[in-house]
Structure 1
């Protein structure tokens, strides 16, 4: 099966460089990053931290001088490149890495052209940009996952390696409940494989990892509001999971 070809465009002025490896690993789950570019005025000391990790991650730096004080010219360069890449027809989707709402219109335009748009940014990212993406992933999640792995590897210090789950907000429980009802068949059963993507259409920044769960199913089970049915299919005994409201 062919994987989606992705253009990864990074706004160096508006995201931290510390978790770039985790970001690229997350992007790889969604497709093949065939284009990787990062935009900044590289003469500024504020982006010096990026320079050391560009080569090892095969990211192409794009120089954009700041001609006017207070204006982010890197935004314009990224947007122009995105449209050039769109018209080249060489990719199936875009990953826009930024916490800046200036890319809201770009995300909308790319989706209008049939592109999948995945956003990456900090939790301070304005809601309009998040909503404009098909899917939005918080960088803080990747940081927490990295810390959790580190904790597991230091059990010799006597620390607990269990990651405590956050309390599930009532809003999220309602979102899941309503989404199950929306896609359920006439008997009330909904296929888990369709549920995750359906929820993302309503809430692009939905991610079980925000609540301490690695996948959607453990999160759903924690609510204790659903009946879970694992059905074995004829293909190598693969299980399909269905759920319905109790």
Structure 2
């Protein structure tokens, strides 16, 4: 399989499960993992609810696949997407697939593609059933790709990173912007377990290794869900739980980030003398 940005990815889109206003952000996200060499979208294009797709399809060179709805209430485009995916798989033209849908019907397809050694990226809404998410190597929520949720300030951080969380959530809600999820105990436990599993004898773990393990354990894990552009600021925000150390080599100036679980402070009673 090709490595890094050389990966060729087939992007297969269920038009009934995604808005045409999101497609630019979705394709930009896919390009973080490789080259979208095949781009197809499936729908019954005789229906009025998909007319808004015409301009985005031309702009992004996406091939529309016509699939008539033979039975009322049934989404026949799902079957067309699955058949195309298997044809592409056997043609050996790509290294991975991106399935854009919130439909659990694609769970078995994702499993089958991974069994064949292909990377599978899922893109869907937060309502996506967990079995489909778990069947992917990586799952990305469409909501975190919204421009309002990822707008950055001049210092390169998201608004949540530069404002008081409580105040920011109130403003976001009032303006109709999707608020970020709070970092709960379950997430902190997941982070600690991942750090512990890749840490050296001194307790320090490289951030890159942590990120890779997080994706394997929880395909839909993404720091942007919590309002952070990267893992580093997410860990820095949890200073009660983690230590963050950044090192750079003198020659290359490449910065390496290491994380360590912070030991709980021992509190003892002061001895009272009389």
Higher-Rg member (1/2):
2
- Does 163-172 or 63-72 show the bigger shift? 163-172
- Does 67-76 or 228-237 show the bigger shift? 228-237
Q: What RMSD over aligned residues (CA atoms) do the two structures have, in Å? A: 1.9
Residue matched to 2:255:
239
Deviation at 1:218, TM superposition (A): 0.4
Structure 1 residues 79, 226: closer, same or farther in 2, change over 3 A?
A: same
Counterpart secondary structure, 1:38: strand
Q: Paired residue for 1:141, among 139, 144, 147?
A: 144
Correspondence 1:198-237 to 2 at 5 A: 198-224=213-239, 225-233=241-249, 236-237=252-253
Counterpart-to-counterpart distance in 2, 1:108 and 1:61: 25
Structure 1 residues 88, 20: closer, same or farther in 2, change over 3 A?
A: same
Counterpart-to-counterpart distance in 2, 1:92 and 1:232: 33
Q: TM-score, normalised by structure 1?
A: 0.91
Counterpart secondary structure, 2:21: coil
Deviation at 1:150, TM superposition (A): 6.5
Counterpart-to-counterpart distance in 1, 2:152 and 2:256: 33
Residue matched to 1:79:
82
- Does 5-14 or 167-176 show the bigger shift? 167-176
Residue matched to 1:51:
54
Structure 1 residues 244, 149: closer, same or farther in 2, change over 3 A?
A: closer
Q: Paired residue for 2:159, among 136, 159, 162?
A: 162
Residue matched to 1:36:
39
Residues 149 and 227, structure 2, Cα contact 8 Å, conserved in 1: no
Structure 1 residues 149, 197: closer, same or farther in 2, change over 3 A?
A: closer
Correspondence 1:51-130 to 2 at 5 A: 51-130=54-133
Equivalent residues, number: 237
Counterpart-to-counterpart distance in 2, 1:199 and 1:73: 35
Counterpart-to-counterpart distance in 2, 1:6 and 1:209: 23
Matched, 1:196 2:211: yes
Structure 1 residues 194, 61: closer, same or farther in 2, change over 3 A?
A: same
Structure 1 residues 240, 97: closer, same or farther in 2, change over 3 A?
A: same
Deviation at 1:27, TM superposition (A): 0.8
Counterpart-to-counterpart distance in 1, 2:114 and 2:28: 23
1:174-232 C-alpha deviation (Å, 9 max, x unpaired): 11001101111222111101111110111111000000000011001111111222222
Counterpart secondary structure, 1:175: helix
Matched, 1:12 2:9: no
Q: TM-score, normalised by structure 2?
A: 0.82
Counterpart secondary structure, 2:98: strand
Counterpart-to-counterpart distance in 2, 1:126 and 1:231: 40
Structure 1 residues 152, 244: closer, same or farther in 2, change over 3 A?
A: closer
Residue matched to 2:269:
none
Counterpart-to-counterpart distance in 2, 1:108 and 1:35: 20
